[in-house]
Structure 1
Amino acid sequence: MTGRPAPAMLPPSLRVWLGLIAALAALAVIVLGVLYAGHDEPGTVDRWIIQPTADSVRPPWRNVALAMDFWGEPAGAATLVAAAVAGCLLFRRPRAAVLIVAGIGTAVATTTLLKSLVGRTIHGDNLSYPSGHTAFATALALMVALLATGRLGLGRTAGTLLVLAAALVAGAAMGWAQVSLGAHYPTDVLGGWCTALAVIPATAWLIDRVADRLADAGRRERH
């Protein structure tokens, strides 16, 4: 059981494609941030999609949206992260547990910083771009999909499709809830989704690099 390398958090078969997607997503975040910096109302694209209000949906769908929103709030998010970390540790995947914590931390920190820099607001002085709830949900889904890809040994095409599908479903579900509840503009949601797509592959790659170097250093010391 010794000497076997830990599975990579960013499977080698996915690195090129996810690296390209991450770069494009980062560009989209920057472009949207520049376009809507300092704005306090929906843009043209937002009006094409939906005019967000506090009562855009009625029960029972409003209850669904509120339930989705809860899992992006501190209490709900902490519960999901704790469950994910516990599952990683239960299956003896400490590197995966580090990815969950670091990935969520990076996504949350990035959206918080961008909100202050962009200064877009909704309903008064509530900073809205990018959507932290959407970034959180997308980031968590991305990391779970990356772990599943490595665990199942999926190839480049199947792995990339799984990761993107997970990101799309999670981002769309949380994004719908945020827009329906009037908490964000649609372009805020797109910015949050792209933020997760940009930071999670980079975080996974960095964790792999650091962990591999530490493992190499440990092997050299033993010899």
Structure 2
Amino acid sequence: MTVIGTGDMGLLRHWVYDWGGLNTQLMLWINRSMPADWIGFARLLSAIGSYWGAPLMGVALLGWRAVKRSEPAALAPFRFGVGVLVAILLAWTAKAAFALPRPSDLYANDMAWVLGAPDSLYAFPSGHAVYTAAVVASLWPLGPWPFRLLLLAIAAAVGWSRVALGAHFPADVVAGFLLGGACVVATHGWAVSLKRAVAKWRARR
């Protein structure tokens, strides 16, 4: 039986999370390369990717469901609600479990921008990236490829903003995207079951 020691864990983190040092280098390059007149734009993108917008997105999907009257539109609010809830819970759990520091805790003196107070103590994964990916996955079936490409572009811009503003390392954002998208896909069956249960409940009224 092989026991993973502290040195092995450090090596694993070095390559899986730190990307052999590239994670920090990319963070510093993106952060330092943002022009001062882009700060407002970066803050706007960061606000768009905040999970505090979830109630508004839920209402919008319910409205689209009433207007469109298609199966993907009918399922979308349930995919979004279940997927986002599971994704956020897992993200909070991961933040506490891994307890990885934010860039400003390690490289504040080397960064050009450290703006705003973080919404949580730890960095991994990015909550904004988790939520944004969950939104993209929920909206994915609702439109053609130009619409999907727009979703991907917005997600990438939100991810960039989190690094540019000094809130996250690129690895935090990538992990957040993977987690958020995976949660919506993995809970698809739950969303379908919930939709059916709601339909049966409404039929009995």
TM-score when normalising by structure 1: 0.62
Cα deviation for residue 131 of structure 1 reads 0.5
Higher helix share: 2
Kept in 2, the 8 Å contact 1:135–1:171? The answer is no
* Residue 98 (structure 1) aligned to one of 78, 99, 112: 78
1:138 maps onto 2:138 in alignment: no
Q: Matches of 2:28 and 2:187 in 1, distance apart? A: 35
Which consecutive unaligned segments of at least 5 residues does structure 2 have? 1-11, 106-119, 201-205
SS at match of 1:127: coil
Q: Matches of 2:66 and 2:95 in 1, distance apart? A: 33
* Residue 13 (structure 2) aligned to one of 26, 29, 35: 35
Aligned twin of 2:89 = 109
Q: Tell me how many residue pairs correspond in the alignment.
A: 173
Higher RCO, Cα 8 Å, sep 6+ = 1
- Given residue 105 of structure 1, which amino acid in structure 2 is its aligned partner? L
Q: Matches of 1:85 and 1:211 in 2, distance apart? A: 12
Kept in 2, the 8 Å contact 1:120–1:127? The answer is yes
Aligned twin of 1:120 = 100
Q: Matches of 2:29 and 2:91 in 1, distance apart? A: 20
Range 70-79 or range 170-179, more displaced: 70-79
Cα 1:146/1:48, change in 2 over 3 Å: same
CA RMSD of aligned residues (A): 3.6
Cα 1:60/1:78, change in 2 over 3 Å: farther
Cα deviation for residue 202 of structure 1 reads 1.1
Cα deviation for residue 116 of structure 1 reads 1.0
Cα 1:74/1:168, change in 2 over 3 Å: closer
- Given residue 27 of structure 2, which amino acid in structure 1 is its aligned partner? I
Cα deviation for residue 142 of structure 1 reads 1.6
TM-score when normalising by structure 2: 0.67
Cα 1:69/1:78, change in 2 over 3 Å: farther
Kept in 2, the 8 Å contact 1:52–1:179? The answer is no
Q: Matches of 1:204 and 1:57 in 2, distance apart? A: 38
- Given residue 136 of structure 1, which amino acid in structure 2 is its aligned partner? Y
